[in-house]
Amino acid sequence: MGGIDWGDVPTWIAGAFAAAAAYYARGTLRSQQQQIDEQRGFIAEQAANLRLEREELRAQLAERRATQARKIRLDVTATGAELSDETGELINPDRWLVVVRNESEAPIYDITAQFGDLAP
């Protein structure tokens, strides 16, 4: 029996470095996967926060619109009409006069008035 056959020493050294590189690459991949999972969780939290903020903004908009609508006054007058003795309703009005007063601080852009089945 002779001495130990070490083979090609540079091949052994290259193999050791390759194994070390694979070990560190595996650690890096695990670390990156953990970071990606953390980022996904963060993004999910941010998406939930944005959804809640959007719902809150919509609720505030609806409240502002309702507040404005409460400050708008309509006065309706029918001209040339007779009052029915039986039902107390107006019969054969010539014209309808609608006066809209905006007592809110915001402008009104679109108004539609309809009286029963009579369209303006």
What pLDDT shows up at residue 3?
A: 67
Strand 82-83 to strand 90-91: parallel, antiparallel, or no bridges (unpaired)? Answer: antiparallel
What pLDDT shows up at residue 17?
A: 95
pLDDT in tens, the chain (120 residues): 556 666 677 888 888 999 999 999 999 999 999 999 999 999 999 999 999 999 999 999 999 888 888 898 888 777 766 777 777 776 766 777 778 888 888 888 887 777 676 655
Cα 55 from Cα 41, distance rounded (Å): 21
Burial category of 68 from C-beta neighbours within 10 Å (exposed 0-12, middle 13-18, buried 19 and up): middle
What pLDDT shows up at residue 75?
A: 81
Phi, psi of 67 (to 5 degrees): -65, -45
What pLDDT shows up at residue 118?
A: 60
What pLDDT shows up at residue 63?
A: 93
pTM above 0.85, yes or no: no
